[in-house]
Structure 1
Amino acid sequence: MTTETQFFFAPDGTEMAVLPRERLDRMIAASEDTADRIAAETGLASLAEEGGIPFDVESRIAEGVNPVRAWRDHRRFSQAQLAEKASLTQAAIARLEGASPGSGRPETLDAIAAALDAPRWTLEAPVPEEKGPKRTRALFDRANPAERRLLRSRK
């Protein structure tokens, strides 16, 4: 029995190849590894360009928590600590956390985003009102490629 690839022409003139199953399996695995590497590189590029949201922050936002509060809790800052780091007052942080996402002057949100080391756009994330499967879908739709793989694996 030969282990080399064999070539022949089908009756319609198409050139065909027969190769050992082990070699085919290795080729398929290599192709899948390449696709996974490309997806990972794309995800990393997306994170570098747009920033990302940790799963616990995204989950809290989806539960209705204001994004500033979700990020502040994630970073384990008190309102006073965040206010000091962002050169604001504790009362301003409290007002923003009680307001709808994205409320506040752009320069205030920029300062808070910088203090939290969070992408600015995440502070404007809408709070979804849906629960259950729709909530999971909303999380999935807003996730970057790397987070989508994680969400897929938790189903």
Structure 2
Amino acid sequence: MADSSEFEAQGFITPDGTEMVIVRRKDWDAVCSLAESAVAKIEEEAMNIPNDVEQYVQLGLNPVAAWRRHVGVTQTVLADKVGVTQAAIARIEAGPTGAGRDDTLTRIAKALGAPLAHINPPAKTSAQRMRKAIDNSTNAKTGRLLQSASSSR
């Protein structure tokens, strides 16, 4: 584990009295990595996954579908609680774990009483981060991009 004495930092106070710190990029990346690891460990320890949900996931079900079955609601009922269409729930359940907009997955986790880290785990690879960025840039109900890829036509 990295010791704080290993990091190089410079501090200063802005004219409005805000204390600021400047660190090297590699030190910032190391701190972020440590923080992500700590959060993941805490979330993993906090997750209390019912046996039936674990079994559904082991059989290949998306965690949203597994939790929905555990709670005993239909896609339509869950969609109404979350404020999306039944088709949106179906797309999320058919996709890989964490597929969907962050705000939608947060509402789903809350509606199902599931740990958010189980429904929407942090992206670990660049491909997962890219997929998540695309998911977060689409309309939850239509699946269409919120902004066009090119503004010049």
Q: Could you state the TM-score of these two structures normalised by the residue count of structure 1?
A: 0.48
Bigger share in helix: 1
Which of structures 1 and 2 has the larger relative contact order (alpha carbons within 8 angstroms, sep 6+)? 1
Which structure: larger Rg? 1
Q: Could you state the TM-score of these two structures normalised by the residue count of structure 2?
A: 0.48
